[in-house]
Amino acid sequence: MQYNLLGKTGMNVSRIGFGGIPIQHVNEDEVKKIVSKCIGAGINFFDTARGYTVSEELLGKAFQGKRDRVYIATKTMARDRDGMMSEVEISLKNLQTDYIDLYQFHNVGSLDEYDKIMGKGGAYEALEKLQEEGVVRHIGITSHKLPIMEKALETECFATIQFPLSVVERQAEEIFKTAHEKNIGTIAMKPMAGGALRDGRKALKFILESPYLSIAIPGMDSLDQVSENAEAADGIALTEDERSEIVKVAKELGNTFCRRCGYCMPCPQGVDIPIMFLMEGYYSRYDLKDWAVTRYNNFKVKADACKKCGICETRCPYELPIRDMLEKVTEVFK
């Protein structure tokens, strides 16, 4: 495993970190095995969030006896001072620790939200106080919107920024360069485009070629994924054939696809929206038609249950036309 300094934090982090979204669906014993394998492979940075249901609690249990070998990053949607104070207290309890290495503002979606966080009585005030007390070591921000990152980089307030970066989504490249020049750590979320890129090794190696990227944090929910992802940081460059192959896959995906972040959920009708798109991807892109049809037919609630209320679209950070996309899934599996 290779390591980078995470900007001004001084933390020497593994180039591949652990993304904590998927483990909310994994049992406690398996999570402990996954965390142990990560540490054994040299992975020392673990990112989770208050919004990832039981992810914090599961990781907290898995970190027992290992706290001095890991850096813990978490985040919250709290935007005011009191709300942030409450959220950090819950995170400390869930993670079974008395300090958090990196606490981040989660998925800041608009400049109004940003201004609320940074204004009088905003959530930043809380993290500043907690940083002075040593409860929070460093403060970061995450978003899917470039204007938010650009505004954040105008200040000296953040030690890290977290933004999507993959062979499909490369708009972060310039903003990461700016951050790197300011000694701000850069964290790539969704490095495998939310699972849309199946070859994790190639996908990760592609973005790790960037000299401005501190760390990539693919989601992991199995021991095999830990092995595959850790191997991507071995320093061996992609061959030209491999690079051409992964770029071709990215072009075929385009921009209108689900990253499986889950922010659209829950659906009032009970549709598992990301899974619907995953099944359609297996059918249309990966030549697994029979398998995809069998899996799709086993779901009690399918894409055609959508009532077009549109709530999901208001939550999607990528502003995807989810209702139209669900119609396409229905057509594919007719």
pLDDT at 287 over 70: no
Looking at the structure, tell me whether residues 292 and 223 fall in a common domain: no
pLDDT at 292 over 90: no
- CA torsion sign, 266 to 52 to 199 to 204? positive
Q: Which residues contact 290 (CB under 8 A, 6 or more apart)?
A: none
Looking at the structure, tell me whether residues 277 and 186 fall in a common domain: no
Structure confidence at residue 234 (pLDDT): 84
Q: Does the residue 156 lie in any domain?
A: yes
pLDDT at 35 over 70: yes
Structure confidence at residue 332 (pLDDT): 94
Structure confidence at residue 150 (pLDDT): 95
Looking at the structure, tell me whether residues 65 and 115 fall in a common domain: yes
Looking at the structure, tell me whether residues 147 and 64 fall in a common domain: yes
Looking at the structure, tell me whether residues 83 and 176 fall in a common domain: yes
pLDDT at 285 over 80: no
Q: CA 163 to CA 317: how far, in whole Å?
A: 12
Catalogue the E-assigned strands of the chain: 3-5, 12-14, 18-19, 45-47, 71-76, 100-105, 136-142, 160-164, 185-189, 215-216
Name the burial class of residue 25, with classes exposed (0-12), middle (13-18) and buried (19+) by CB atoms within 10 angstroms of its CB: exposed
CATH number, domain containing residue 34: 3.20.20.100
- Out of 197, 223, 239, a domain closes at 239
- Taking residue 243's Cβ as centre, other Cβ atoms within 10 Å add up to 16
Instruction: Look at 43-52, 229-238, 256-265 and tell me which has the smallest mean pLDDT.
Output: 256-265
Q: Does the residue 245 lie in any domain?
A: no
pLDDT at 197 over 70: yes
232, 261 contact by CB (below 8 A): no
Looking at the structure, tell me whether residues 290 and 152 fall in a common domain: no
Average pLDDT over residues 245-273: 84
Which residues form the domain of 208?
3-239
Q: Does the residue 268 lie in any domain?
A: no
The tens digit of pLDDT for each residue in 85-104 reads 999 999 999 999 999 999 99
Looking at the structure, tell me whether residues 213 and 323 fall in a common domain: no
Average pLDDT over residues 224-250: 88
Confidence of residue 284 (pLDDT cuts 50, 70, 90): confident
Instruction: Look at 56-70, 115-129, 195-209, 276-290 and tell me which has the smallest mean pLDDT.
Output: 276-290
The tens digit of pLDDT for each residue in 59-77 reads 999 999 999 999 999 999 9
Looking at the structure, tell me whether residues 190 and 277 fall in a common domain: no
Average pLDDT, the chain: 92
Q: CA 188 to CA 143: how far, in whole Å?
A: 11
Instruction: Look at 21-25, 45-49, 206-210, 279-283 and tell me which has the smallest mean pLDDT.
Output: 279-283
Average pLDDT over residues 178-200: 87
The tens digit of pLDDT for each residue in 204-233 reads 999 999 999 999 999 898 999 999 999 988
Structure confidence at residue 286 (pLDDT): 62
Looking at the structure, tell me whether residues 126 and 46 fall in a common domain: yes
Average pLDDT over residues 243-268: 82
Give CA angle at 234 (229, 236), nearest 5°: 115
Total number of domains in the chain? 2
Looking at the structure, tell me whether residues 158 and 70 fall in a common domain: yes
Q: Does the residue 52 lie in any domain?
A: yes
Structure confidence at residue 321 (pLDDT): 93
Q: Which residues contact 241 (CB under 8 A, 6 or more apart)?
A: none
Q: Which residues contact 98 (CB under 8 A, 6 or more apart)?
A: 92, 135
pLDDT at 318 over 90: no
pLDDT at 194 over 80: no
Query: Integer distance in angstroms from the first to the last C-alpha of the chain?
Result: 46
Q: Does the residue 249 lie in any domain?
A: no
Q: What residue spans of 105-233 are helical by DSSP H?
A: 111-118, 123-132, 146-152, 172-181, 200-208, 223-231
pLDDT at 14 over 70: yes
Instruction: Look at 119-133, 209-223, 285-299 and tell me which has the smallest mean pLDDT.
Output: 285-299
Closest residue by Cα to residue 122 from 157, 153, 147: 157
179, 148 contact by CB (below 8 A): no
Length of the chain in residues, anyone?
334
Looking at the structure, tell me whether residues 54 and 97 fall in a common domain: yes
Looking at the structure, tell me whether residues 207 and 62 fall in a common domain: yes
